[in-house]
Every structure is written in C-alpha cells, then in structure tokens.
C-alpha cells in the first residue's frame, strides 16, 4: 500500500539547510499496524506529513496504492487525504463549541454526503468508539480520553484505508492511554485498516506488529515486534 524510496526533506533555515529526512526507504503493506518511532528531531513528524499527503518530499519517491504522490499538487493531495487517510492528533483538534456528533460529521460535509447519511455515519462512528450516548456533548463536557475517542471517530467516519496517528496518547494519563491503544488495536483487527502510529513512546510502539525507528532523518532499524502488547493489558513499563 505504502512504498517510500530514498525520501529526503530539506528545509532552508536562513543560509543553512536542515535535512529532516535523509534517504528513508520502506514498504508498509495493506492491513499492517506499524509504529514509526524516534526522539524529537528524528524526522518522524516530517515523515508522517509526507505519508499523510500533508507535504511532499524534496526528493525520492512515495507511492500510495501504486500511484506516485511526490509530484502531486495541493488539490490532488487534498483529494487523497480526504478519500484514503484518517488523521488522529495528540491535541484532539476538536471544534470547542460543537457537539461530538457535529465534530465527527465535518469530513462528511466536506465530502458532500447528504444530511441523513452524515448523521447515520457519524452516529455509527461514535458508537464504534464507545460514545453513542455522548453525541450531543461539547468537548468541554468530555474527558480527555473521550475527546480523543471523538477525534478517532472523526478519523474513521469516511472509512479510510489508512489511520495515521501522531502521538495519540501524549495528552492522556496512562490508564486512558491504554484504553486508546486498545481501541486502535480493535479498529485494526475488526476493520482491517492500515494503522500507523508516530510516537516517541516505546510503550505505545510495543502495541504494534512492527517498529520503524528513525534518528537524524535516517531509518536505523525496521523490525517485526515478536510480542505485541495485547488489548486490555495493564501498562507495565519495560
């Protein structure tokens, strides 16, 4: 599904160049659950932006479902984002004065779905994440974990092939973080979605089947996780 080859991303900072990505290459197959891991400044957020069609590389190739992405203009990138990719972010990014249901309906509104189908799909997505009884609550009436569940419902409401999450438990306490990781595993298992988690947290990464590690823009390891943490397991640090 995802193939990147010798990706580089160079930013111009005054007279200096910053090489955020430096020759990254890998393939992610349909239905995999993968962590992209690294410390701050490793290039993982830049890589996420390129995989998510939020940015394009300076050089190299990115192929998504056999279609080259690296030379697309913004209109085509936006179309790919809307059809294929659901995003979950650390800070939830919900509209503050808007109900959970209305927040989840937003992608469907942009995609041109009718009113009834928007309502039905958004309700189904909220039920899928365990918030069927919280549809009319605004974000400030929900806990952090519930807000992240709304954000996940919004990400899956279009039934994207790829779920891309950037530090999805970073703003949550450890118990709630475990619950959110259980939910990602459930979505991966039940829906067959390709799930990519971008994180600096080794515990989060250990929930996935494969861990790609970055350092200074380079991939330093790409390994199968032989013993993923299973849904429902209490958080125990290594």
Q: Quick check: 8 pLDDT over 90?
A: yes
Q: Quick check: 10 pLDDT over 80?
A: yes
| Confidence at residue 59, expressed as pLDDT on a 0 to 100 scale | 94
- The CATH number linked to 173 is 3.40.50.300
Let me know if 19 is exposed, middle or buried by CB neighbors in 10 A (0-12, 13-18, 19+). middle
Tell me whether residue 236 is in a domain: no
Which whole number is the average pLDDT over 180-193? 90
Q: Quick check: 41 pLDDT over 70?
A: yes
Tell me whether residue 208 is in a domain: yes
Tell me whether residue 25 is in a domain: yes
Tell me whether residue 237 is in a domain: no
Q: How many structural domains does the chain have?
A: 1
Q: Quick check: 116 pLDDT over 90?
A: no
| Confidence at residue 79, expressed as pLDDT on a 0 to 100 scale | 87
Q: Give the C-alpha distances (Å, rounded to integers) separating 154 from 6, 123, 125.
A: 32, 10, 7
Tell me whether residue 93 is in a domain: yes
Quote the domain boundaries for residue 47.
2-224
Tell me whether residue 199 is in a domain: yes
Residues 6+ apart with CB under 8 A from 77: 53, 54, 56, 69
Q: Quick check: 238 pLDDT over 60?
A: no
Question: HSE (CB half, 13 Å, CA atoms) of 230?
Answer: 1
pLDDT in tens, 120-142: 999 999 999 999 999 999 999 99
| Confidence at residue 37, expressed as pLDDT on a 0 to 100 scale | 95
Tell me whether residue 192 is in a domain: yes
Tell me whether residue 71 is in a domain: yes
| Confidence at residue 234, expressed as pLDDT on a 0 to 100 scale | 64
* Count of other CB atoms within 10 angstroms of residue 5: 15
The proportion of the chain whose per-residue pLDDT surpasses 70, expressed as a percent, equals 97
Can you state the angle between helices 74-84 and 100-111, rounded to 10 degrees?
130
């Amino acid at each position: 599904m995802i193939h990147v080859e010798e990706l580089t991303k160079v930013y111009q900072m005054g007279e200096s160049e910053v090489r955020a990505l430096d020759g990254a290459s890998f393939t992610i197959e349909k239905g995999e659950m993968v962590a992209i891991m690294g410390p701050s400044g490793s290039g993982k957020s830049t890589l996420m932006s390129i995989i998510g069609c939020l940015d394009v590389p300076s050089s190299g190739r990115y192929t998504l479902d056999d279609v080259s992405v690296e030379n697309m203009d913004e209109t085509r990138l936006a179309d790919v984002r809307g059809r294929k990719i659901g995003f979950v972010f650390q800070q939830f990014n919900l509209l503050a004065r808007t109900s959970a249901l209305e927040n989840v309906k937003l992608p469907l509104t942009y995609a041109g779905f009718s009113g009834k189908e928007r309502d039905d799909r958004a309700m189904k997505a909220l039920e899928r994440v365990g918030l069927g009884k919280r549809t009319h609550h605004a974000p400030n009436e929900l806990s952090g974990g519930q807000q992240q569940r709304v954000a996940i419902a919004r990400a899956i409401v279009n039934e994207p092939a790829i779920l891309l999450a950037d530090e999805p438990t970073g703003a949550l306490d450890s118990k709630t973080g475990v619950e959110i990781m259980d939910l990602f595993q459930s979505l991966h298992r039940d829906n067959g979605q390709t799930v990519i988690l971008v994180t600096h947290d080794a515990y989060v990464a250990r929930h996935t089947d494969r861990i790609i590690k970055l350092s200074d823009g380079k991939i330093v390891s790409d390994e199968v996780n032989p013993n993923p943490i299973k849904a429902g397991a209490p958080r125990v640090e290594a």
